[in-house]
Amino acid sequence: MESDLSRLITEQINERTRDLDQMSALEIVRVMNEEDRRVPLAVEEVLPHVAQAVEAMVETLKQGGHIFYIGAGTSGRLGVLDASECPPTFSADPSWFQGIIAGGDSALRHAVEGAEDDPMKAVTDLQERGFCSRDLLVGLATSGRTPYVIGAVKYAKQVGARTVAVTCNPGSVLGKLSDIPIEVNVGPEVLVGSTRLKSGTAQKMILNMLSTATMVRMGKVYQNLMVDLQPSNQKLEDRARRIIRHITGVTPEEAEDAWLRCDKEVKTAIISLMTGQTPERARQLLRQAEGRVRKALQLANQTSR
């Protein structure tokens, strides 16, 4: 593995911010904003690889596998964050997306020195989660050379699982090892080597795409509405009612009644209202449609003819 970190894009000097320490507060945030504008353009360049990863993730879930994000430091934290937000947003099985960070959960709040340098600990962490050939591993490392993540990807390939890399250094070791390399060139950081900045933003954007697009393709969305959300607080309960009303066109009272009759299952309430079927029949239609609202409505129309 290349030991000369100075060759990495993420470790190079950004000439546009060389006088950072002499800038006013407004000048600092302005130059940071200017640099951040480069991130979505860089992500745009790798969208075909992101889409390829999404299709692999969908196939993995359909075949009974799981998606594992693994990383160290900021990368690891972003992976854990994305995985943790999938169950409430999409009613996804908590095992579908799992985030692992070098150093364990305590590393989410406090730096665990040396954790990212132990490739064998990554193997142990995956084994403890029951990682197997049916699963898919997303290795997150802005440098593309983090030993912990490299060890994880090597182990995943050893057991026959598919691998995705998300890095900010094109041509990296991690990218070369992975089946689907997503390597974004956001350029040198505003603060040299501080990859929680542009690199972290790029990784967050890509993780948003990976999980959201996967859930859309898995039927967790109707139109652009999160019809499979878990109404676990007042805000989400209000959103659930509004979604039902928006799709079906019923009154607030009718939406509330259907929602409660359907045990607060948004998709079931939508199908029941739009087809005139009982909650039980609505659930049956959704099962036949693999959870897809649009397909369930089509099935109901075919049955009524």
Residue 305 has pLDDT above 70, yes or no: no
Gap between the Cα atoms of 223 and 257, Å rounded = 23
pLDDT at 263: 94
Q: Which residues are catalytic?
A: 85, 116
Strand 67-71 and strand 136-140: the pairing is: parallel
pLDDT for 4 equals 64
**Matching residue, tokens 């009303």:** 245
- Interhelix angle 25-36/198-217, rounded to 10 degrees, is 40
- Residues 42-62 have a mean pLDDT of 98
Helices H, strands E: what count in the chain? 13, 5
pLDDT digits (tens, 9 = 90+) for 11-51: 888 889 899 999 999 999 999 999 999 999 999 999 999 99
Task: Return the pLDDT at 211.
Answer: 98
Asked if 231 contacts 241 with a C-beta cutoff of 8 angstroms, the reply is no
As a whole number of angstroms, the distance between CA 151 and CA 155 comes to 6
- The 10s digit of each residue's pLDDT in 22-33 is 999 999 999 999
pLDDT digit string (tens) for 236-284? Answer: 999 999 999 999 999 999 999 999 999 999 999 999 999 999 999 999 9
- Distance separating alpha carbons of residues 135 and 167, to the nearest angstrom: 20
pLDDT of residue 92: 92
Given a contact cutoff of 8 angstroms between Cβ atoms, the answer to whether 229 and 244 are in contact is: no
Ranges of H-type helices in 91-197: 119-128, 147-159, 173-177
pLDDT digits (tens, 9 = 90+) for 163-182: 999 999 999 999 999 999 99
Rounded Cα gap, residues 52 and 45, in angstroms: 13
C-beta separation of 16 from 31 below 8 A: yes
